[in-house]
Amino acid sequence: MNFCWSTRKDFEVSYDLFVERFPELGWKETRSTTVFANNSYGLPADEYGLIEAYCSDKDCDCRRVFLNIASRKKEEIVAVVTYGWETEAFYQKWFGGIDNEISRQVVKEMVGLGLNSASPQSKYANAALKLVEELLQDPNYVARLKRHYQMYKEKVDPKHFRKRDEASKVTAKPKRQRSR
Ligand SMILES: [Zn+2]
């Protein structure tokens, strides 16, 4: 397949695209899938790309991805799906406790799969959500998303996300001894 989503500049996307930080690897590792007519999702036959975006807030370990579902034929985003892979308890802690309806709502939206309430969605959004749900059954794909999240965060926020052991490895490098 020789198709690059990066040629489309007119997408409205949420947050910050992974491919903008890692253009070469990002496009190579962007999942896309072909959906045929009369599919079980209710999507028009097309090729769909799952263009990843992550939150660029400083010191925010939200552990979720925004998947901008791009239609190749229409050249537009048909849905913005969010996927948070941690538990509800994790997001409660991340949010700093649940004390009202708003915080409960925020945490609920963080956990698992859903349509991003802050993004425009097309009439095929729910169908796209079903497609994503199926693609996330692949543990390799989920592992890839988590890896991309870590790479992205280390790049935009090295102060909080660069692993400590890696940093100490660099400083602990033994000095080369003189041979004479
Ligand atoms: Zn965040």
Distance of CA 153 from the midpoint of ligand 1 (Å): 9
Distance of CA 60 from the midpoint of ligand 1 (Å): 4
pLDDT digits (tens, 9 = 90+) for 145-166: 999 999 999 999 999 999 765 5
Distance of CA 139 from the midpoint of ligand 1 (Å): 23
pLDDT digits (tens, 9 = 90+) for 102-126: 888 888 889 999 998 888 899 999 9
What is the per-residue pLDDT for 165?
A: 57
Q: Compute the distance between CA of residue 21 and CA of residue 63 in angstroms, rounded to an integer.
A: 17
Question: Do the beta carbons of residue 91 and residue 111 sit within 8 Å?
Answer: yes
For 46-111, list the strands marked E by DSSP: 46-54, 64-71, 76-84
Read off the pTM.
Answer: 0.83
Classify residue 128 as exposed, middle or buried by CB count within 10 Å of its CB (0-12, 13-18, 19+): buried
What is the per-residue pLDDT for 70?
A: 96
What is the per-residue pLDDT for 149?
A: 97
Q: Domain residues of the chain, as ranges?
A: 11-166
Among the listed residues 55, 83, 80, the one whose alpha carbon sits nearest the alpha carbon of residue 144: 83
What is the per-residue pLDDT for 106?
A: 84
Phi, psi of 85 (to 5 degrees): -95, 0
What is the per-residue pLDDT for 17?
A: 94
Distance of CA 15 from the midpoint of ligand 1 (Å): 9
Ranges in the chain, pLDDT < 50: 1-14, 171-173
**Alpha helix positions (H), 58-157:** 88-95, 101-110, 125-135, 139-156
What is the per-residue pLDDT for 117?
A: 83
Distance of CA 45 from the midpoint of ligand 1 (Å): 34
Phi, psi of 166 (to 5 degrees): -70, -40
Distance of CA 75 from the midpoint of ligand 1 (Å): 28
Tokens 């004479």 map to which residue?
180
Distance of CA 59 from the midpoint of ligand 1 (Å): 8
Ion ligand 1 nearby residues (CB, 5 A): 55, 57, 60, 62
What is the per-residue pLDDT for 144?
A: 98
Distance of CA 145 from the midpoint of ligand 1 (Å): 15
